[in-house]
Structure 1
Amino acid sequence: MYDQSERDLLRMLADRAGIAADYYDIAGTCHVTTDETRRAILAAMNLRVANREELITELEAWDNRWWLRGCEPVHVLRLGRDAGVWSWHGPCESSDDSDLYVKWSLCAENGETQFERTEGPGLRVEETRTIQGCRFIRVTLAFPQDLPLGYYSVKAHAKGGGTNTESAFRLIVAPERCYIPEDLQQGVRWWGVALQLYSLRSHHNWGVGDFRDLGAVIEWIGKRLGAAVIGLNPLHALKNAKPYHISPYSPTSRLFLNDLYIDVTQVPECWTSSDVQGRLADPLFRARIEAARQCEFVDYDAVKLTKREILGLCYRTFLRDNFEGAEPELKPKTDRGKSFLHFTEQKGESLEHYALFQALEEERQSAPSASIIWEDWPAPYRTRSSDALEEFRRRQMPRVRFFQYLQWLAAAQLLEAVKKTHQAGMPIGLYHDFALGSERYGADGWLNQEVLAFKADCGAPPDALGPEGQNWGISPLDPLRLRASGYRYFIELLKNNLCYGGAIRIDHVMALFRLFWIPRGLPPAMGTYVHYRDDELLAIVALESVRAKAVVIGEDLGTVPDWVRDRLGTVGVLSYRVFYFEREHSGAWKLPAHYPAQSLAVVTTHDLPTLSGYWEGVDIETRSALGLFPSEKARNAMWSERHREKSGILAALKSEGLLPSGVPDDPTHVPMMTTELMEGIHQYLARSPAAIVLANIEDVIGARCQANLPGTVDQHPNWCRKLNLTVEDLAQDVRFERLASLLRLTRPLV
């Protein structure tokens, strides 16, 4: 059966594993996947492909996998459609299988049996196969109709015909579409403001924007100005250490929150602990806080040290005041103690393992022979289950609990912010950004080794932002092992990120369909796409969206095939449209009427220049100063293109009657971005049918430098630039009042 050449066998296996044979980049150039890339990606999927014999073994295992396993690991049903059937596979030594029966059941998430049935004897055999001399058969069984939405554990026990086997799979019953509020479905259009939480200055914070600042923004933007939504950078847990561990798009964990955003002064123990009050009264300690507050950039290390020191003292008081007994058997004696234990039970093993990793990483980095990354730790600590790890957990349980305590505090403060959005009458409230992946040597990498491909990175093929392609340094999820796990990690990620607001933006949403894999050690140009089961992933997204009543926005920028946007549109995912990129084929700016209704529109993003920076060419000069242009000719070409783009923007505004009075349509006579021009551009977007329009806070106040400059790490102050105004000053800034009044004209809440 497998008598082809080794090259053909390699391509057969690659095709089965979803590795693209070729792909087209954004310029329409076709790139053919090399055999070297195929072999390296297959190896990253833990398949043995070194020679012809190994390829044949893997192909045989692939083609027989469901026969040997008993069934596929995942099935999806869509609410309202015919339920259909599933296939049971198994050995049946006897040619007479008339006495074969299959007893199977569906258990809901709460453990209750939802359905139970015995099928047979006399089952119809749909297919037979001989595997290593043994006869296997396949029979089909019908799912029950009208199952409620949710996840089900399906277990089957087959007996008779010489077989006695058990098998199991996950059944997902999902809605047809993601959640879209009734008002949006009826044509109401909303607006909001986007911000980087860490960038907020205030008179009270300790050097980084925090959840108290967020509450103040909600009071101001939501309650006073009438915005429907406040967009946030990813709030995922970070290591908070410069320069490599401060990007919100490369977190240590996407399951949990960045505890740097905790407002220490809102923690009850801050006021009941004499130790804390004594420390806060210390002039030297107050000076440390003030220095971090006044710093031009976020001093992550300093903020982390001061907050951890005080929160550690708070935790000691928390244990003393709320529990009896000692670790590990804490007995709560107050409602606050019960609330903490309820939180840890609700978050379950993932939180315990996350906290264990934090404690272990902390100890290992302070050890005499410091191990910076977990792959270099002693072997017993590299996995989640070993006697040595259990011994560490018992010995360091107070520190493990401390990290659980931090997550409890962060979650409580963020939920309080969500409550404020409801009180302000915001129909969406908080809009969260969900990063594509996490740092391979972080907590999620350690926690989920079984579904990550550590021998590959993900990135992007050549495009305008990266002519040589991009490597993001993130290990991709292995589609084969992820599916075999029943998508446990992916489901938990969505649950944990959808519980804090009314919308989520999925970064690089194309990863639900295909992701650009780059074998470790090879340049991005040697990468290619790997396909995922988008039908199953989209079903999970739709189910979790409906359960949380949260809108889903898909960041669909870059190399995006039309069929991807079509599929996303069908399942109710809003497209993400950036003003800078929305052009006609002629290069002219799209008219507002040409924006899709099922979309979120914004002028710019964190990876692009601010509106003022774009208009003044700050990004071009910054790139030039850092030597990021291959030649002076390339720099000049970008300046020429920017001049044409600005001409196009002025022409677009003029066509809509939005060009400010006295502003000429020649950009050489408009050297600076003005408040009136900024307002006109946002009005331009507001006139579109896009469901949501966001204004970036930096654009309203005329900030010139962007949050992140792609292609740099420590050459540019990425992810640490603060706003030049405090939250208190922003709330009195007339520019926001003016813009809000203009946006409300076309986008009132009701």
Structure 2
Amino acid sequence: MAAALDDEGLARLAELHGVATSYRPAPDRTVAVPASAVVAALAALGVDAGTPSAVRAALAARERELRERLLPPTLVHWAGDARGPAALAALPPGTRLHVETEQGEEREGTPGLPEGLPQGVHRVTAGAPDGRTGHAFLIVAPDRLPVPAGRSYGLLVQLYSLLSRRSWGMGDLGDLAELAGWAGRTAGAGFVQVNPLHAAVPGAPTDPSPYRPSSRRFPDPVHLRIEEIPEFAYVADVADAADRSRLRALLERADRLRADVLDKGALIDRDAVWELKREALELVLRVPLGPGRQAAYDAFRAEEGQALEDHATWCALAEAHGSQWRRWPGGLRDPRSAETARARAELAGRVDFHARLAWLTDGQLRAAQRAAREAGMPVGIVHDLAVGVHPEGADAWAQQDHFAAGMSIGAPPDAFNARGQDWGLPPWRPDRLAASGHAPYRHLLRALFRYAGAVRIDHVMGLFRLWWVPQGSPPTEGTYVHYDADAMLALLALEASRAGSVVIGEDLGTVEPGVRETLQRRGVLGTSVLWFERDWEGDGRPLPPERWRADCLATATTHDLPPTASRLTGDHVDLRDRLGLLTRPAADERAEATADAAEWLALLGSLGLLDSPAAGPPGTDEEAEVQGVHRFLLRTPARLIGVWLPDGVGDRRPQNLPGTWDQYPNWRLPVADAEGRPVPLEELTASPRLRALLEVLRDPADASAPVVVADAVDRAGRLGPGGLAGLAGPAGPG
């Protein structure tokens, strides 16, 4: 018989393993989680709590382990803190410390932090007089992450949606570099933020969501600009007549695919794009690398090591056996098995092919960041880090020992989604992370920061805790599991500082008390969206600009929300009505949406931010109102102001409509104008409407003296019942 949740032993056992037995969806409300969720979470952590006797045994073992160990698996020291980690200071008198630094030095010392340790991740061994020994990773990190040196604005866009007349049916890294170069030089923008560019799981069709990747460590080669690979120019020198004809046919098919989207209104077909690019890459990669290029590729493989070998091996095995690795022949399901080693050797050519794709994509990502910085952008490209990975993907296969079996992450019930959410993403095990010095997380950050001027962390609250849902249970029957947030933040600060990169946390929705304050103290910028910034603790009215927090990216909308024109005109209600997504009469929804927009426009008008306040309802002078919204954002003290690029041409369609799957073309829409006509990059940058909007942001005087950014702790606008969490339905995180 399973232990009950009110069993003190189970509650204590859960606490000692970071598993919650209750949570608070609101300050005045506490909800107990089911005992079954606690038992399942503990089981995923390797702890048997299935019976009262098992609980007693596991509790005794855990208490003994904590009592007898000399050191926890991971220690954190923030630079400037003279005290050092408490666990070191608490070691028994006479304990000797041996430190192997990340830089290869060796230090000896007594309890307390050895003097002069450099920043990095070090190995500490403690030897006590009674013969006990202990081992730990010691993270020495800067006290704060880098923050933008000044104030800037930037463009937000889903890269696949940004087609040019040169791309092959979806936006690519060449388009990203072109946009950054134009926006920096011509429009004075400081950054371009894109969706996650992580490697996807191939399928039929491939899941188009960029928030369910195969790997977060390696980027997706579908984003390559084929013509900008140096070896492309020499294909004709090594190809026979048949292959030269094949390449010409591929280029012609790419032209048709692009024309289908831009000229005929077809949806973006990622699978068709990848099929063309894969065939072209097979030809391009037959061209031998020159000595310098070969040396660079060899260095990349050596630097990425086992992680790249695993990723490329998974890709090769997926070609041979399908992308669902749990259905592969038994031995291949284990990345360290003898069968996998033999398969890696047999498929060495394909492993090399996929490793080279990772290298080529990494190179074009770095080139995009260089283009942004050379164009004068102080930040450059802002990359998005998804909250998790697909359970059948490369990371889940290669890092099986770090993932919690039988669990997925999601969100608990809230006012907008009484059923909760299950995102279908396996969570990392906090115990295994700590025991490895958080190695998978650390290496992921290092790889991402090398081509990012900033990183947006999706669902940044996941650094503190994640909602675990047992497989086969509804998301209402999950529980929170806590992570070592101090270690996660320290590694984030360490790697961001080494790269000189900024970090933006997506902290919308339900946030545990103290999390925003901790993130702000460490220099992680938050995310503030205009329509949710209301005085939820007071009269509920729109929050005046001077009361917005300074340490944030302020935007009018996101990829999961209606574009600004859609919200002003009420088109978003009509769309949800057509798809049967409304839970109330359409007339009531429209009236509420109109009142919401009117209230915001009234505030903008009272501040003099509308050139000529319209006499009619919201949307009467749509372009002027969109400009007024962005003048308002400039009035806030936000360090970064983000402009949803489709807002610049009047696009009314959200890129993702939470709560839908096949009812709406999520993640497959090109940027379009108000009539739904796709707008290629060449026309986008010439758009008078976009240029007029960007002039508002380029000239701060147009905002009537924006508030000066302060370094002091600011008054964060709290998200209330209108928060984003309730809008992130079955479509998943993001």
TM-score over 0.5 for the alignment? yes
1:308 aligns with 2:296: no
Instruction: Spell out, residue by residue over 1:44-71, the C-alpha distance to the aligned partner (whole angstroms, 9 max, x if none).
Output: 2221122122212221221122456552
Query: Helix, strand or coil: the match of 2:651?
Result: coil
Note closer, same or farther for the CA distance 1:148–1:472 as it changes in structure 2 (3 Å cut). Answer: same
Q: Kindly name which structure, 1 or 2, has the bigger radius of gyration based on alpha carbons.
A: 1
Q: What is the CA-CA distance between 1:645 and the residue it aligns to?
A: 0.6
Write the deviation string for residues 320-339 of structure 1: whole angstroms up to 9, x where unpaired.
Answer: x54xxxxxxxxxxx111111
SS of the counterpart of 2:20?
A: coil
Query: 1:704 is matched with which residue?
Result: 652
Determine which of 307, 313, 316 is the counterpart of 1:356. 313
The AA in structure 2 aligned to 1:619 is: H
**Contact conserved, 1:83 with 1:144, CA < 8 A, in 2?**
no
| TM-score scaled by length of structure 2 | 0.88
Match 1:418 to one of 359, 362, 369: 369
| Letter paired with 1:591 | P
* TM-score of the aligned structures, taking structure 1 as reference length: 0.87
User: Take 1:679 and 1:67, find their aligned partners in 2: how far apart are those partners?
Assistant: 61
Cα distance in 2 between the residues matched to 1:84 and 1:110:
20
Q: Which amino acid aligns with 1:355?
A: A
Read off the aligned partner of 2:160 and give its amino acid letter.
Y
1:185-240 CA distance string (max 9 Å, x none): xxxx2111111111111111111111111111012111111111111111111125
Consecutive unaligned residues of structure 1, counting only runs of 5 or more, are 90-96, 120-140, 323-333, 366-371
Distance 2:685 2:582 in 1: 40
Cα distance in structure 2, aligned partners of 1:462 and 1:190: 37
Alignment of 1:100-499 (within 5 A): 103-113=96-106, 115-117=107-109, 141-157=111-127, 163=131, 166-181=133-148, 183-184=149-150, 189-239=151-201, 241=203, 243=205, 245-274=207-236, 275=239, 279=243, 281-282=245-246, 284-293=249-258, 294-295=260-261, 296-318=266-288, 321-322=289-290, 334-365=291-322, 372-463=323-414, 465-499=416-450
Superposed displacement of residue 656, structure 1: 1.1
- The match for 1:580 is 531
* Matching residue of 2:727: none
Question: RMSD value over aligned CA atoms?
Answer: 2.7
Does 1:693 pair with 2:693? no
Q: Does the Cα contact within 8 Å between 1:240 and 1:304 map onto a contact in 2?
A: no
Which amino acid is the alignment partner of residue 173 of structure 1? V
Identify if the C-alpha distance between structure 1 residues 350 and 18 changes in structure 2 by more than 3 Å, giving closer, same or farther: same
CA distance in 1, matches of 2:251, 2:28: 58
Query: Counterpart in 2 of 1:620?
Result: 573
Cα distance change on mapping 1:280 and 1:676 into 2, 3 Å = farther
Where 1:81 maps in the other structure, the secondary structure is coil
Residue 169 of structure 1 aligns to a residue whose secondary structure is: strand
AA at the equivalent of 2:458: D
Between Structure 1 and Structure 2, the one with more strand by share is: 1
How big is each residue's C-alpha offset from its partner over 1:556-585, in whole Å with a ceiling of 9 and x where there is no partner?
101013411111111111110001111123
Kept in 1: contact 2:614–2:621 (CA 8 A): no
State, as a whole percentage, how many aligned pairs show the same letter: 35
- The whole-number CA distance in structure 2 between the counterparts of 1:452 and 1:541 is 20
Q: Distance in 2 between matches of 1:720 and 1:39?
A: 40
- Give the counterpart letter for 2:387 in structure 1: L
1:529 partner SS: strand
* Shift in alpha-carbon separation, 1:83–1:242, aligned structure 2, 3 A: farther
User: After superposition, what is the alpha-carbon deviation per residue over 1:686-737, rounded to whole angstroms, capped at 9, x for unaligned?
Assistant: 1111000010111111111101111222221111111211111112112232
Distance 1:635 1:529, change over 3 A: farther
Decide whether aligned partners of structure 1 residues 662 and 568 sit closer, same or farther in structure 2, where only a CA change above 3 A counts.
closer
Q: Is contact 1:612–1:672 with CA below 8 Å preserved after alignment?
A: no
Specify whether residues 618 and 85 from structure 1 end up closer, same or farther in structure 2 by C-alpha distance, changes over 3 A only: closer
Q: Residue type matched to 1:228 in 2?
A: G
Once the two structures are superposed, residues 428-483 of structure 1 have per-residue CA deviations (whole angstroms, 9 ceiling, x without a partner) of 01111111111111111112111211311111123355342211111112222221
Whichever residue aligns with residue 142 of structure 2, its letter is P
Residue by residue, what CA displacement relative to the aligned partner does 1:357-409 show, whole Å, maximum 9, x if unpaired? 111111112xxxxxx51122222111221111111111111100110100111
Q: Which residue of 2 aligns with 1:124?
A: none
Change (3 A) 1:635 1:481: farther
Aligned residue for 2:491, secondary structure, equals helix
Residues 4 and 10 of structure 2 are in contact (CA less than 8 Å); yes or no, is this contact kept in structure 1?
Answer: no
| Structure 2 residue aligned with 1:718 | 666
Counterpart of 2:480 in structure 1 is: 529
Measured after TM superposition, the shift of residue 149 of structure 1 is: 1.2
Q: Match for residue 655 of structure 1? A: 606
Once the two structures are TM-superposed, the CA of residue 538 in structure 1 deviates from its matched residue by 1.4
Whole-Å Cα distance in 1 between the matches of residues 310 and 104 of structure 2?
Answer: 24
Counterparts in 2 of 1:85 and 1:524: CA distance versus 1, 3 Å: closer
Deviations 1:10-38 (CA, angstroms, capped at 9, x unpaired): 22211222222322225964321121221
**Does residue 599 of the first structure (1) align with residue 552 of the second (2)?**
yes
